[in-house]
Amino acid sequence: MDVFPDITFKFGDYIESFVNYLNTTLDALFEFIYIISSNFINGIEQFLVGMPWWLFIVLIVLLGWYFKTLSAGMLYGVFMFLVGTFGLWEDMMTTIAIVMTAVIISLALGIPLGVWMAFSKGFSTVMRPILDAMQTMPTFVYLIPAIFFFGLGNVSAIFATLIYAIPPVIRLTELAIRGVDQEVIESAESFGSSRWQMLFKIQLPQALPTIMAGVNQTTMMALAMVVIASMVGAQGLGEQVLVSINQIDIALGAEAGISIVFLAIIIDRVFGGLADKFQKHRRVS
């Protein structure tokens, strides 16, 4: 027996009406976003696939050597070589293209929003519950509007990944800007620095290591979405994991899964090394 009063509030109906309104009103905008995103992904993917496999591995080794150690770079090169031996090289390139596109868009939107939140308490108050909802809402829910606006494919995957991955860089950018030493800011103000000069010459350079930590977190969260994004037609390693689940193919699942792990390790170490270098440069300067 239902003891709750016979009162219904169809919150979902209002959301559906709002989404339908956006789809009708901003149809041209969504089509433009689809074309730009699709061309961007395809361009990155074609560039990576067209690159000789040995050259890509050499670049990975050099990145690992520069940001970590030579032995780390060699290990990362072995990881990439193993992915190739699994027969998943092109799938890996597609995954990298999707993640790179999502991360670039996340940074282009997230860093300015984080700076705005640092300078405006009112905007920060409004944005924080929105960011909380973006991080706590089940990721599968993001797939519904993604399919509605962009259909099945890689663009929908980017849209869903963007919602999930962008909050860390926004939060850490705000935290980094707010955490800049007030004495440094007061000194800059005493010399007549404008707000823009202070932002670009004082606050952003001082906050860069923390911002880089946000970039790292955003990249890792974007990579974590590749399997879920495959449910809306995204290609790459996530698609292979989904196929292995549908076919109960343990071998394919293990190979695709370990390939994603290899990518995650390399991305985490390289971005971590980049943040360390910024930190060392800041201490020296």
Write the CATH number for 198.
1.10.3720.10
> Is 223 inside a domain boundary?
yes
Q: Which residues contact 114 (CB under 8 A, 6 or more apart)?
A: 169, 170, 171, 172, 173, 174, 176, 177, 211, 214
Residue-level pLDDT at 74: 94
Residue-level pLDDT at 80: 93
> Is 170 inside a domain boundary?
yes
Quote the tokens at residue 126: 């409004």
Residue-level pLDDT at 242: 87
Residue-level pLDDT at 2: 59
Residue 131: which of 151, 114, 153, 143 has the closest Cα? 114
What is the separation, in whole angstroms, between the first and last Cα of the chain?
Answer: 71
The count of residues in the chain is: 285
> Is 147 inside a domain boundary?
yes
Domain count within the chain? 1
> Is 69 inside a domain boundary?
no
pLDDT tens, 48-66?
888 899 999 999 999 999 8
- pTM (predicted TM-score): 0.84
Residue-level pLDDT at 4: 63
Q: Are 237 and 88 in contact (CB under 8 A)?
A: yes
> Is 56 inside a domain boundary?
no
Distances (CA, A) of 30 to 14, 140, 156, 208, 241: 21, 21, 11, 33, 29
Whole-angstrom distance, CA of residue 152 vs CA of residue 143: 10
Residue-level pLDDT at 229: 81
> Is 21 inside a domain boundary?
yes
Distances (CA, A) of 179 to 120, 217, 278: 15, 19, 16
Rg (CA), the chain: 22
Residue-level pLDDT at 143: 79
Residues of the chain with confidence (pLDDT) below 50: none
Quote the tokens at residue 208: 């860069």
Residue-level pLDDT at 76: 93
Give just the sign of the alpha carbon dihedral 36, 42, 48, 50.
Answer: negative
> Is 150 inside a domain boundary?
yes
> Is 106 inside a domain boundary?
yes
- 209: containing domain: 11-50+86-284
Residue-level pLDDT at 217: 87
